[in-house]
Structure 1
């Protein structure tokens, strides 16, 4: 009978160092790092944090340029409800929600799957939601050079839900607009398409 084995690639020296650091953290909070349920936790946590911050090793502009095409389409393109998961840089706790991204091409379009990939690259870094919104917006604007770009992010922050003010139902919305989306009529159309009253 075969055994299950999952193959993942991690930088071993970094993994070993992080594993040791997590062991010290667990000891510091009073855990027994030798007990069965915790024994492999430092290594798991070391691998998890590398995955959750893997965006530092990725170039989002290259993701866009790898699938750019000349196309005479000049109307709004919207990719909405993009799931995102990130880590708040203040407490290293998750925040999660959805991103809505739109652009108006100026002779070039990009493969639709590349927009969520750009969101992931920036989300897989230690972040604040405001900067995450700006990162996505400016990357698309600078790389595609469209007639306009819009980004709205709606997210819940565990640092507000699990600790601090402990408000479980609070949501944070951030937005950014460039080019034609700075016009109220274009921005309003985008907000209507994503089903948000923020206009």
Structure 2
């Protein structure tokens, strides 16, 4: 990989051997391996031993999970907040595993829509809950730094499964709970910002 980075620097018109760039190939290699370390993580290993039988049927929410990922189209970062909820059907997952799950999928080359679905589908398969909801709010540097250059735009995606898709009251409870957190995103006008809502059968 280091030789490829040196070749890229040369293609950009730089001298890869000048003082400021001498160690750049090694740094880029370490950085990319860290930012894509999710490929080396096994979801089953992450969840192993973290599923528990519990007599609890109310909604479980973990919100404001920070995530960072790389856009697969431009290799530029996108980052923001992830909110996850599920309604148990006799099983719950250790709360610390949900942010870990988000990290496993975000530390890859991604698009926001796929990342949203992967988190929701993994929880659905592992827990077989009554419903799952995942909402991602993200800033994409490929939009801020290039292309349309809209620095203040936010992309919002959601995956609603089971009762969190079919039951309006349950869905609104989730949205109200993540809305009341001082977010810069106005959920009352979210549709004006181009929300992508992904719904699937559970």
Q: Shared fold (TM-score greater than 0.5)?
A: yes
- 1:19 maps to 2
The equivalent of 1:194 in structure 2 is 178
Return structure 1 stretches of 4+ with deviation > 2 angstroms: 196-199
Shift of 1:65: 3.1
Equivalence for 2:117: 134
Residue 26 of structure 1 and its aligned partner are, at CA, apart by: 0.7
User: Match of 2:104?
Assistant: 121
- Residue 29 of structure 1 aligns with which residue? 12
Counterparts of 2:45 and 2:86 in 1: how far apart (Å)? 18
Q: Does 1:175 align with 2:158?
A: yes
Matched, 1:147 2:140: no
| 1:10 counterpart residue number | none
Which region of structure 1 is more displaced relative to structure 2, 59-68 or 120-129?
59-68
Where in structure 2 are the equivalents of 1:101-112 lying within 5 Å?
101-112=84-95
Counterpart check, 1:96 vs 2:96:
no
Match of 1:44 in 2: 27
Using the size of structure 2 for normalisation, the TM-score is: 0.87
SS of match in other structure, 1:81: strand
Structure 1 residue 31, shift from structure 2 partner = 1.2
Distance in 2, Cα, partners of 1:79 & 1:156: 20
Give deviations 1:40-65, integer Å, cap 9, x for gaps: 00000011101101111112233123
Which residue does 2:194 correspond to in 1? none
TM-score (norm 1): 0.89
Partners of 2:175 and 2:46 in 1: CA distance: 26
The number of equivalent residue pairs is 182
2:73 and 2:49 map into 1 onto residues whose CA distance is: 33
What is the root-mean-square deviation in Å for CA atoms of aligned residues? 1.2
Aligned residue number for residue 183 of structure 2: none
Residue segments in structure 2 that go unaligned for 5+ positions in a row = 180-186, 192-202
Aligned 8 A contact 1:65 1:143 in 2 = no
